[in-house]
Amino acid sequence: MQPKIITRIFGGIGNQLFCYAAARRLALINNAELVLDDISGFMYDQDYQRHYQLDHFHIPCRKATSAERLEPFSRVRRYLKRRINQSRPFEERAYIKQERIDFDSRLLLIKPQGILYLEGYWQSEGYFKDVETTIRQELQIKPPTDPANIAMAERIRSHTAVAVHVRFFDEPQAIGINNAPSDYYSRAIAEMERRVPNVHYYLFSDRPDAARARIPLTEPRMTTVGHNKGDALAYADLWLMTQCNHFIIANSTFSWWGAWLAKQPDKSVIAPSFVMREGTMSWGFRGLLPKNWVKL
């Protein structure tokens, strides 16, 4: 019988892509069927109210049935499966939940027998680097068709464009532990100017007004992309990012994927290098940033 991997998709669009990519590689290497649980990871998301967004990509895998999602009483049944499997050797588990945020090479050696449940963000290209061509093909974004996004894409492609992403996890005016350091963007733009002169910057952010205050550029050299509002249109901003030539990303998996999915072979990617494992999100852990990206 062909093995089956049922992966739980959750989080924002960037983390959903990591969930998929790691599971897809495991399925490809082991000739297993990959099934996507597109429901359970969003049922109790009261804080962010996110939803499944992978239908915007060319993914060939089917959605899980209610039985494959462990319904009814899925929350209890999932908890019991996790507890039972925690006592087993990692390579023998039928339910694998990510144990640490650093790259965990043990996942690459898993040989599923029967049904394997997979749960985790798996935030490193190391989990799918050896099947990168397939992942890039399947994660091509279906372009938005509305006039505003089509016009913005044409504008971006008309010159050398740099995508700049600012993500706020704390209030912009607060001295929090989750936002990128206040001087990161000035240092990143100075480095980009040194590498690629005469570029135009496109600013993407969940809070555009506050983000503009962090970018040391005047309006003629920077365009704020603010028309795709809300979680439902996040894929459109991600697609616009991939149309750019170079990238200054935030401490965010959203712009991580915007930079990674871009096809430009000579792209420069600048990323925050600080390490942070507390608070709302984590960043800078082992395996997160590709080796050829510039860390500031």
Alpha-carbon gap, residue 244 to 73, rounded angstroms: 45
- Which single residue is written with the structure tokens 């999915």? 261
Angle subtended at Cα 296 by Cα 189 and Cα 48, rounded to the nearest 5 degrees? 90
Task: Determine the Cα–Cα distance for residues 26 and 96; give it in Å rounded to an integer.
Answer: 12
Instruction: Return mean pLDDT, the chain.
Output: 95
Helix axes 13-29, 234-242, angle to 10 degrees: 70
Is the pLDDT at 49 greater than 90, yes or no? no
pTM equals 0.96
For residue 88, the model assigns a pLDDT of 97
> In the prediction, which pLDDT does 196 show?
96
Amino acid at 51: H
Residue 263 has pLDDT above 80, yes or no: yes
What's the confidence (pLDDT) of residue 176? 65
Q: Which residues contact 212 (CB under 8 A, 6 or more apart)?
A: 203, 222, 224
Average pLDDT over residues 29-49: 91
Q: Read off the pLDDT of each residue in 53-74 and give the average, rounded to a whole number.
A: 97
Identify which of 250, 180, 182 has the alpha carbon closest to the alpha carbon of residue 213.
182
How many CB atoms neighbour CB 54 within 10 A? 20
- Asked if residue 178 has pLDDT above 90, the reply is no
**pLDDT score, position 249:** 98
Q: Count CA atoms closer than 13 A to 69's CA, side-chain side.
A: 19
Q: Apex CA 163: angle with CA 270 and CA 240, to 5°?
A: 135
Residue-level pLDDT at 219: 80
Q: Are 3 and 30 in contact (CB under 8 A)?
A: yes
183: its two tokens: 């001087």
At 277, the pLDDT band (50, 70, 90 cuts) reads confident
- Whole-number pLDDT of residue 177: 77
**Residue 63 structure tokens:** 């959605």
Each residue's pLDDT tens digit, 183-229: 999 999 999 999 999 999 999 999 999 999 999 998 899 999 999 99
Out of 153-162, 224-233, 275-284, least confident range: 275-284
**What is the rounded average pLDDT of the residues 11-29?**
98
Distance separating alpha carbons of residues 114 and 133, to the nearest angstrom: 27
Q: Which of 102, 108, 110 is CA-nearest to residue 130?
A: 108
Q: Where is 166: in which H helix or E strand?
A: strand 161-166
Residue 99 has a pLDDT of 95
Q: What is the pLDDT, as a whole number, of residue 172?
A: 83
How does residue 276 score in pLDDT terms, banded at 50, 70 and 90?
confident
Q: What is residue 280's predicted lDDT score, i.e. its pLDDT?
A: 65
Beta bridge partners, 225, equal: 204
Q: How many CA atoms lie within 13 A of 196 on its CB side?
A: 20
- Any idea of the CA torsion for 180, 186, 187, 193, to the nearest 10 degrees? 130
Torsion sign (Cα): 242, 247, 250, 253: positive
Mean pLDDT for the stretch of residues 137-147: 98
The answer to whether residue 278 scores a pLDDT higher than 70 is: no
Residues near 277 by beta carbon (within 8 Å), at least 6 away in sequence: 101, 285
Min mean pLDDT across 45-54, 174-183, 225-234 is at: 174-183
Residues above pLDDT 70, as percent of the chain: 98
For residues 249 and 167, give the distance between their C-alpha atoms in angstroms, rounded to a whole number.
Answer: 9
Fold of the domain built from segment(s) 147-295: Rossmann fold (3.40.50)
What whole-number distance in Å separates Cα of residue 232 and Cα of residue 53? 8
pLDDT at 281: 74
